[in-house]
Amino acid sequence: MRAPRDGWTVERLGALQDLDAVVAVAEASFLNGWTRAMFVRELERPDTAHLFVVRGSAGHVAGYCSAWLVSDELHINGLAIAPALRRQGAARALVRHALGEGWRLGASEALLEVRRSNRAARRLYDAAGFTVRGVRPRYYVQPVDDALILGRRL
């Protein structure tokens, strides 16, 4: 577990504890969010899949970040914060932690996809040093939107 930074604590979720809270954040954040079974599959692959949770000062789960370490690349697959806790620094704490863990584990680059229309996420990733590497036209559905492929060196 990383020491609190800006009032947030980030740790790797290594068991089924708090999984219901993670699923609730996903459901509140995405129309087609990950299911409980999808998160369980991530936990079953600890060598590749990393699921981080961010907690507030009371210890509650405020959000999560799912990432894969593939060769020397960290792929951020999903990141969400509970709606009532957004814009308070939890997402920044998660991104910092995920990037640090990726670097510690040997990744030299981080990649992710984000909806073109998701301005808040784009500001977050821009502030973390990500730049646009490409576009996947009409990648997302409900609603249809392009995916921007973002990357940064670690």
CA distances from 152 to 27, 75, 76, 111 (A): 28, 11, 12, 7
Question: Reading across the β-sheet that carries 109-115, which strands appear in turn?
Answer: 9-12, 49-55, 61-70, 73-81, 109-115, 145-153, 131-140
Rounded Cα distance, 39 and 53, in Å = 12
140 given a catalytic annotation: no
Q: How do 73-81 and 49-55 pair as beta strands?
A: unpaired
Q: State the catalytic residue, choosing from 42, 64, 101, 113.
A: 113
64 given a catalytic annotation: no
| Helices assigned H by DSSP within 3-84 | 19-29, 36-43
CA distances from 57 to 7, 54, 138, 154 (A): 6, 10, 39, 29
Q: State the catalytic residue, choosing from 64, 125, 139, 140.
A: 125
Q: Where in the sequence numbering do the catalytic residues fall?
A: 113, 125
